[in-house]
A and B are shown apart, each in its own frame.
Chain A
Amino acid sequence: MISIVSVALAVAPLTLPKLPEGECFTAPFVQTRTLAALQHPLVLKGNVRIERDGGLRWEINEPYRYRFSANENVFTEVTPDGKERRLDPEKAPWLAGMQKLFAALLGGNADVLHEWFDMESGQALPEGRQVSLVPANDAVAQAITSMTVVYGDHLRAISIHEAAGGTMSIRFEPLVACVDAT
């Protein structure tokens, strides 16, 4: 977690698809964690909500429930037992890092991603263009070996190769505008 946490920096300009018109978008996703210590990959299903101003809600619905919300430097987490707790970003700076990284990935903000990664446009896949991200500094490299993202008209997939040996893949369904504006 310190990973996405301490994260840091940049290279050549690369254009990524931005969020469509609108204030808030949501997309279901499937998060698959592969670890040598796991008998089978752990598959979690959930929903992400991204707001134009950077607000982020990461929600797991199956096989258990978990939610992480970040909005205007207020971070909350709902743990699997249903209890909500407020997190102090000063005590856990990874929160701000995680919010910033996922908001940048989902919002196609290449400038922010350049702060932490050397980015290279890769091959064209049926679902979109592949982009490779390699940590540009030691702090990020301590947690992430490399990252691959796929962009269609928006972010479709992320694959994170972790320094601890695991891999986390997240596949997103198409983004849709939020039903509620809150």
Chain B
Amino acid sequence: MDDDKPWALKGVRLIDLTWVQAGPQATRLLASFGAQIIRVECPVPAGMDVVRQVPPYAPNHATPDGGRSQGAAPSSGVPGNFNRSALFNNTNAGKFGITLNLNHPKGRNLLKRLVAKADALCENYSPRQMEKWNLGYDELRKINPQIIYLAMTGMGKAGAYGDFVSYGPTAQALSGLTHMSGLPDKALPAGWGYSYLDHSPGYFGAFLLLSAIRRQRQSGVGCYIDLSQAETGLVLSGTALLEYQLSGRPTTRYGNRMPYLNWAPHGAYRCKGDDDWIAIAIQSDYQWRVFSEEIGSPEWTRDPKFATAAGRKANEDDLDRHLTSYTTGRERFDLMTRLQHRGIAAGVVQKAPDRVDRDPQLKARSFFVDLPSSEIGTWPVDGFPAKLSRSPANVGGPTGRAAPKLGEDNGLIYGSILGLTAGEIAHLREEGVI
């Protein structure tokens, strides 16, 4: 336990009843600032975080004293071993881990004892689960009147859809974010290739928790936060709602183009390689002239219809066709470097290997952080994207490691916080409570 660092959240304890991605994302950020995050997990597979039980897994050859140095390999997991999930290892870095069966009356009693000694609780179970256990905010507030309680659900617990269930993609579809993403001439949207609304709500959850913790530290007041992933999607829908109210026109898709500024070309263009692309955004007539010069002023760039921003915008299909004929067959990183040296916004459409193994910026700023885990060894995890001069974020948190093994800290947490003896802890394990 690393108590010597200048942590912003020194002394803050949060009971973490989250699972999958949105909730764990919020508490991970607080661990990065030194909060003691106690991840509470069901000890039996049926109630365990599903992320522990689905791919991607660390390769089967990964050992506690090894890790990435042993190499990557496809894996379908080790049956009965719930400590090898690659996503879980990343999303739960810096947290303590205990097991607790909340279907057992003694389990619920233990949770209440932990809440009594905590500052905050975060959960993202299905909407009424905590109330079914008689562990909702009203109940827990009786035990700890200052508690901050963050509930994260797809729709939000209050409101007409308070009982509805959701994953990230459900909230994305409902909010409009899925509809907005894609090409205008396709019948279907492209949508999102992952659960964006499992990420941003996590960041919002952290922001609201940090604001609430500050107030709690100053005035001893707790609060209840009912966070909705779908509502977050509305906030992230840009100017679409305002545009609709003023124009009455339904929201449409426009691919990678820029409908709100006279920027053209503006898109992704095929390069040499297997599905390799570069994004280019020309923002002025000056940039267009520089760009044309850099690519050798081929005849099409001298066509008067492309001379002005308005002209390029009006002839964007034609422009994109010509530009693609130039970029196809050219090496994407070389082209990005050349254009950037001329002051043009150009960026390779980077895939994971580009970001992990090549991106010199991420390397120079030590973005990926190697963290040990007690089961699969040392692997890089996402770092924290902001550097603080006095109280640096550290994604290893107070534990200095990646995610905990299932129940890894039972002895430490039940012993140090609740004062249970080794014998009592062993007995609870035998009873199926932890």
A binds B: no
Q: Chain A residues in contact with chain B, CB under 8 A?
A: none
Q: Chain B residues in contact with chain A, CB under 8 A?
A: none
